[in-house]
Amino acid sequence: MCEFCLKHGEGERWYLQAKNYSEDMLSDLRRRRFIGHFADRQLIEREVAKGFRDIDRLEKLPWLIRNLLIRVFTRKMKKIHFGQVVPIEEIEKIFEFVTSIVRVACICRQITLRKEKRYCYGISMGPNGGRLFEIFRDLDDSYANGLDDEKYEALTKEEALAAFRAHEQEGMCHTVWTFHTPFIGAICNCDRADCLAMRTTVTHAIPILFRAEYVAEIDAKLCNDCQQCMRLCQFGALVNSASNGKPIVDQMWCYGCGICRSGCPAKAISLKDRAVSPATANLW
């Protein structure tokens, strides 16, 4: 299991622990200020845009300095704002105990695509968003009479799950995010082209999110070699086998998101626990 499971999940999957979504955690003033920081759209857009530029600059630094900075940065992010890839089955489990789901525009897509894409979801165990959205209300006059529908869409659990399945068809993986770890306040739908977190972690090898607790596996007997899974994979984990010409999973690259399954008409792909694979048991 990842280190967050050991620290914040008592040996169980930390993101399935209701305590890590608790309203009580929002009494912490540092956490409230940090969450409120995200309400300032102009400020956060500038910071994300700067993040895209900074990771490109980091590639030009000498190897030793670059690796030192990466370790320092990742350690800081684990304390403040870190993520983990989570398959749809466990998104369903999270939705069983949260009481509010609100869809909002994605800052990364706003910067990379210059258009609004609502791929981010605020989640809360409090009714009507609970304290999480009280923080935004304090900073945004548009909340005076409740959530501003132009910015925030309140969804039922059924509506949210339908949206997540549609995101999978687009090739996006699901990720949970902390706001001063271990509190989880958001689930995002990420892709390598447009998301700062994915680009930082996968393209530039600067970890700011963990792999999932799973790895994918393909049943070669069921596979019809349509290669739809290769089209969907964001991590470059699927390659063609020279022996039979069918896709296989390179487990060292697999993040266990399960998105490849959504495009497999033969139902040849499954997820297995990362811990049972010696090659990936300690790879996060």
pLDDT at 164: 96
Most confident range, picked from 54-68, 88-102, 142-156: 88-102
Q: What is the pLDDT of residues 16-25, one digit of tens each?
A: 999 999 989 9
Most confident range, picked from 1-5, 137-141, 277-281: 1-5
Q: What is the pLDDT of residues 202-235, one digit of tens each?
A: 988 999 999 999 999 999 999 999 989 999 999 9
Q: Which of 52-61, 135-144, 176-185, 274-283 has the lowest mean pLDDT?
A: 135-144
Q: Where are the domains of the chain?
A: 3-210, 214-276
pLDDT of 266 strictly over 80: yes
The neighbour count for residue 225, using CB atoms within 10 Å, is 14
Pick from 228, 211, 240: nearest CA to 268: 228
Collect all residues with Cβ–Cβ distance below 8 Å to 109 and sequence separation of at least 6.
Answer: 115, 116, 117, 119, 194, 195
pLDDT at 142: 47
pLDDT at 127: 75
CB 99 within 8 A of CB 127: yes
Coarse DSSP helix, strand, coil percentages of the chain, rounded to the nearest 5 percent:
45, 15, 40
pLDDT at 36: 79
In the chain, what is the straight-line distance between the N-terminal and C-terminal CA atoms, in Å?
A: 9
Assigned CATH class of 214-276: alpha beta
Q: Which of 49-58, 127-136, 169-178, 245-254 has the lowest mean pLDDT?
A: 127-136
Cα–Cα–Cα angle for 117, 124, 47, nearest 5°?
45
Q: What is the pLDDT of residues 144-203, one digit of tens each?
A: 444 455 677 889 999 999 999 999 999 999 999 999 999 999 999 999 888 888 989 998
pLDDT at 137: 64
The residue to which tokens 């609004």 are assigned = 116
Q: What is the pLDDT of residues 109-123, one digit of tens each?
A: 888 888 888 999 999
Q: What are the strands, taking DSSP E only, across the chain?
A: 83-85, 100-104, 120-124, 153-155, 173-178, 184-190, 209-210, 214-218, 238-240, 247-249, 269-273
How many whole angstroms separate alpha carbon 46 and alpha carbon 109? 13
pLDDT at 146: 45
Collect all residues with Cβ–Cβ distance below 8 Å to 271 and sequence separation of at least 6.
Answer: 87, 212, 214, 215, 216, 217, 256, 258, 261
pLDDT at 166: 94
Give the mean pLDDT of the chain. 88
